[in-house]
Amino acid sequence: MPLAQVPTVKAMVVADEIYTDATTGKRIICGTFSQIRAIQIPGVFGKASYVFILLSDGLGEGTLRLRFVHLASNMMLLQSPPLALEFKDPLAVHDIVMQIPPFPLTEEGFYGLECWIDDNLIGSVRLDVSRMQK
């Protein structure tokens, strides 16, 4: 069944690492960030990161994609593989952890890590990128 109700993002956090406690199933989010101080621009943020997304209020089936976008030019620099999701109960909460590969930094400024379900932008995290001062 296609989406009858688009889910909403209750939380979206970018972090260095995200673990799942084997006993409780709780997520442990380490090293959250919204700023990147790069040694070289243009360049690549040289390590993989993770994003935690908490969704609810959805009903039906949809495809989630993450997009990394340079906000001034609205240029998409990276897109995740599609992740099929099914929302059977709008009151249910879905927590998702996705690894983000090293992403390109074309210039200083603001970037967005956007969360899309099908053709609907449902959430984003803004990242402030600047050159590291010597």
Name the residue with tokens 């409780």.
24
- Note the pLDDT tens digit of each residue in 15-46: 999 999 999 999 999 999 999 999 888 988 87
Strand partners, 65: 116
Is the CB of residue 12 less than 8 Å from the CB of residue 112? Answer: no
Q: What is the pLDDT of residues 81-128, one digit of tens each?
A: 999 999 999 999 999 999 998 889 999 999 999 999 999 999 999 999
pLDDT for 64 beyond 80: yes
If you compute the radius of gyration of the chain from its CA atoms, what whole number of angstroms results? 16
**Number of C-beta neighbours around residue 103 at 10 A:** 19
DSSP string, 19-48: EE-TTT--EEEEEE-SEEEESSSSEE--S-
Domain map of the chain by residue range? 8-131
pLDDT band at 58 (very low <50, low <70, confident <90, very high): very high
Q: pTM (2 decimals)?
A: 0.90
| Whether the Cβ atoms of residue 40 and residue 95 lie closer than 8 Å to each other | no
**Annotation: CATH topology of 8-131:** Immunoglobulin-like (2.60.40)
- Of the candidates 93, 102, 8, 11, the one whose C-alpha atom is nearest the C-alpha of residue 50 is 102
User: What percent of the chain has pLDDT above 90?
Assistant: 85
